[in-house]
Amino acid sequence: MAKRVIWTKNAQKERKEILKYWIERNKSKTYSKKLNELFKDSINLLKLRPEIGKKTDIENVRIKIIRDYLIFYESSSDKIYILSIWDSRQDPNSLKIKKASR
C-alpha cells in the first residue's frame, strides 16, 4: 500500500531553491523541470518501497540518491516525511537534518 508523503517546510524550501538556481543558471526551465520530475518519480517509488533508501546514523532516517542530490526521509507506518533535499557537492558540515515532528 502506498504511503502518504508529507514535505517538511525545510524540504519544500530547499527544493524551490534548487530548482530556482538551475532556472537562473541555465536561463531556462528545461533542466529544472526534468530534475523536479526525477524528484517526484523517486518519491513515488519511496511511497511503495520506503526501505530502498540507504540507512543513516539517525534512527528511522534514510537517504535516496538522485544524481547529485540526497533526499533525506523518515518513514512511519502510513507516511513518508521528506526532511531535506541536499546537494551532495556542498560542504558536508553545512548539512543539518531535523526529524519530523508529529
Q: Is residue 38 part of a domain?
A: yes
User: pLDDT tens across 59-68, in order?
Assistant: 899 999 999 9
For the whole model, what pTM was predicted? 0.85
Residue 77 region by backbone torsions, left for phi larger than 0, else alpha for psi between -120 and 50, else beta: alpha
Query: Which three cell numbers, joined as nine digits, stand for 57?
Result: 546514523
**Is residue 10 situated within a structural domain?**
yes
> Rounded to 5 degrees, what angle do the CA atoms 73, 33, 54 make?
25
Sheet holding 61-66, edge to edge: 4-7, 79-87, 69-75, 61-66, 54-55
Residue 41 lies in a domain: yes
Please report whether residue 35 resides in a domain.
Answer: yes
pLDDT per residue as tens digits for the range 70-80: 999 999 989 99
Host domain of residue 40? 4-90
